[in-house]
Amino acid sequence: MKPCSTCLSYTLMFLNYVQAFNGVSILIYSLWILTCWSTQQNEGASWFVWFAFGVGVSVCLIAFIGYVSAEVTNGCCLCFYALFTSILIVSEAALVCDIILNKQWEKDFPRDHTGELQRLRQFIEANIDICKWFATVVFAIQMLSIMLAMILRLMARSKRVNTGRHEDYDAIRKPLLNQLDAPIASTSLGNEKIPTKTWRSAMKDKLGWAKNQSSDEAIV
């Protein structure tokens, strides 16, 4: 059980490394846009820049939680990691569905003053096959991470339950063992220890010898 749990933990940590790389890439992209926009314009950055920055930070935080959870194999941390990853997947799925089903999806968002949203759209349309494969890989990594987190949580829970049962079993057995060892109790005679049964038999023999001696004196 332990080697299997260790293997799953290392796999989950590796998957979180990949997700952290994606988050850092989004952060670098958003900071690059912010730097270029700040040097060209005096206005504040567009919402798209801050949105990309927030997505990058969120992905990095979730990956960090997943890495720590896989390292310590804590059930509570694994549960929170699975919950946050599920929320991220649902948000991504809602965004993709809106873009696919709604042909006028750009009107649902405020105007991007930097123009990066339009350039990003043109890049995706020009490399649609690569983007599809990339999105599929990211989605598969996130789903596999959730599955591994749930498996590790169940394994940690079963291990904790089995440990508690063994402790209760040992606590029940201990008095019985003490009772079995009870006849070993001894009585000291001088500097020597004589078991209880031997002491009793010695006393009976002594009392019997005293009675026989008294009866012989009476006959005389």
Cα–Cα distance, 119 to 107 (Å, whole number): 16
Structure tokens at 41: 């314009």
Residue with tokens 């979730």: 62
> Under a CB-based contact definition with an 8 Å cutoff, are residues 148 and 12 in contact?
yes
Cα–Cα distance, 17 to 77 (Å, whole number): 17
Beta bridge pairs of residue 188: 193
Q: Would you call 188 helix, strand, or coil by DSSP? A: strand
Residue with tokens 């569905």: 97
Higher pLDDT, 157 or 205: 157
Residue among 54, 50, 51, 52 nearest 62 (CA) = 54
67-125 tens-digit pLDDT: 998 888 888 889 999 999 999 999 999 888 888 887 777 777 778 777 888 888 888 88
Cα–Cα distance, 110 to 22 (Å, whole number): 25
Cα–Cα distance, 77 to 35 (Å, whole number): 36
> Under a CB-based contact definition with an 8 Å cutoff, are residues 45 and 57 in contact?
no
196-209 tens-digit pLDDT: 555 556 665 656 65
pLDDT confidence tier of residue 26, bands split at 50, 70 and 90: very high
Q: Strands (DSSP E) along the chain, which ranges? A: 186-189, 192-195
What pTM value is reported for the model?
Answer: 0.69
In the predicted structure, residue 130 carries a pLDDT above the cut 50: yes
Cα–Cα distance, 158 to 153 (Å, whole number): 9
Domain ranges across the chain: 2-177, 187-219
End-to-end CA distance of the chain: 84
